[in-house]
A and B are shown apart, each in its own frame.
Chain A
Amino acid sequence: MNLLNYVPGDSFLHKLNPVTKLLAAFLYGIAAIICGNVFAEVGLIILMILISATCGIAKRAILLTRNLFFLGLIMFVIQLFFVRDGEPLAVIGGFVLFTTGGLKSALLLSLRVIAAMLPLMLLFAITQMNDLCNALVKRLHLPYRYAFIVTTAFRFVPIFATEFHDIQDAQKARGVDFDTKNIFRKIGLVAPLCVPLLVSSLKKVDVSAMSAEMRGFELRGYKSGYKEYPFGVRDLVTVAVLVALIAITALWGA
């Protein structure tokens, strides 16, 4: 399953204006960032999984949480050993390995990373990138060039993920064993894959740019699209709920 592809649906969130979805994802991220309580961060992650369930993408949300957990783990280790506030918790031979402040900070930051990134990643599942681009141009009058850059960057993420998977398959077929449990060996094995990925990405971007130019990319303005993206009551309600969520996390989650 590609975790970043669009999943068609008819849910409340699917029907929101794409600009609202983007704004909502950012607001949810802000709520996660200002939240200073470990339990509240866990609550935000669970809440996001429950929200995803209403769109039929709960399984994807859980898989994404699991993947983000590994990123969170890296942040956890860094924070644990580098933040030296509070009382010593683990001491080896007189050397303080980590402290209470380090543990709290590590837990909080790793959960914050997951809670802040999850809504942005789930945005891919409920929003067509073309719609997001067109809505940014139509509603916010963002120059098409910049809207295109933003949405193309998002659009290329799953393409590059697939490309990376194919490159990895090609190396497996040559005898590279990626199943090693040694993390340093794994990094050493994955690093060379960046070269073909970079080469194919640059080629793809170059071809896409030429193709866009050949189809009158420069002529497009905010009046070019025929599809309208009106804001409705549900958009207003969504933003209001998220502002309230930020207020709650600021008041009780600090």
Chain B
Amino acid sequence: MIRFENVSFGYSEKRPILNDLSFHIEKGDFVALIGANGAGKSTISRLVNGLLHPTKGHVYLNGKDTLKTPSSTLARDCGFLFQNPDRQICENTVKDEIAFSMKAQGWPSDLIADRTRAVLETFDLDPEWFPFSRSRGERQRIALASVLACEPGLLILDEPTTGLDYLECIRIMDHVTGLNQEKGVTVLMVSHDMELVQSYAKNVLVLNHGQILGQGPTNEMMKNVEVLKKARVLPAQIPELALRFGDEFKDVFTVEDMLAALRGRAGKGGAL
């Protein structure tokens, strides 16, 4: 689905942001890009859909070289949810906003009407709302609805839950997970929120100064303290607590796991 081949990128030669990066992401995967500020996470996400072009190497999306394919064409395969929905929203009603991408991509009008209706219903949105006057969470939901209306095979989320309350965050992430699990939509998520990464991502790519420090299943990476420390990232709380309890807790990743493990230890008469 996504292939990076020896990709380097920088705005100037003196300060490269990405350095000879190679990796690939399979179709249907849910990958989280994690790392400190300036590690190159957002740059990678923008290289995938052709908003940025590598200074060296190649990025392929569904076999298409992003250097040779305009981002407006890549947009048919790839939906991008920005951190700030206000950069995306540009229409005066929610229904026009949702139809915007489909119109831009040249969809037939009857299909646009059908998809708009369906998406409005799924996301519980009023078609006549003025998007700019809605709450931050609702604006983010409108932006996501607009992206998903085009049914992209790849969904890129750049800090999707920043500034959202817990319920809104869960609502958006559950929807994304549903698409990933039921429709096989590939998800690439940039996030600083390790709880979110632990709860939703299948695989993790740890970045530091434009290089990959580690990649693998989320549970495995969350316990790789050395790599996370190097990347200046704190693991999610439950895996971190489990690590401190020792080997007996090595398979503990969620609150439920922790509860079961603690009950098990208490049952054996062990001290906590």
Residues of A within 8 A of B (CB): 163, 166-167, 169-179, 192-193, 195-196, 199-200, 203
Task: Give A172 to B150 CA distance when docked, in angstroms.
Answer: 14
Size category, B interface = 20 to 34
Instruction: List B residues at the A interface (Cβ < 8 Å).
Output: 46, 49, 51, 70-72, 75-76, 78-80, 82, 86-92, 100-101, 104-105, 132, 146-147, 150
Does A174 contact B75, Cβ atoms closer than 8 Å? Answer: yes
Q: By the criterion CB–CB under 8 Å, are B80 and A179 in contact?
A: no
User: Knowing that A176-B104, A196-B86 are A-B contacts, what are 16 other residue pairs whose CB atoms are under 8 Å apart, sorted by A's residue number?
Assistant: A163-B87, A171-B104, A172-B71, A172-B75, A173-B71, A173-B75, A173-B78, A173-B82, A174-B75, A174-B101, A174-B146, A175-B104, A177-B70, A196-B89, A196-B90, A200-B86
The 4 closest A-B pairs by CB, nearest first: A175-B75, A177-B72, A173-B80, A175-B105
* A173-B71, A174-B101 known; A200 vs B87 contact (CB < 8 Å): yes
Q: Are B89 and A174 in contact (CB under 8 A)?
A: no
**Beta-carbon contact of A175 and B132 below 8 Å:** no
What are the residues of chain B within 8 A of A203 when measuring CB–CB? 86
Contacts of A199 in B (CB 8 A): 86, 132
Indicate which residue in B76, B87, B132 contacts A167 across the interface (CB closer than 8 Å): B87
By a CB distance below 8 angstroms, the chain B residues around A170 are 80, 82, 87-88
Contact status B88-A176, CB under 8 Å: no
Contact between chains at A173 and B86 (CB < 8 Å): no
* Alpha-carbon separation in the docked complex, A143 to B100 (Å): 47
With contact pairs A179-B70, A179-B72, A199-B132 given, residues A174 and B88 touching in the complex (Cβ less than 8 Å) = yes
Given contacts A174-B100, A175-B104, contact A169 B51 (CB under 8 A): yes
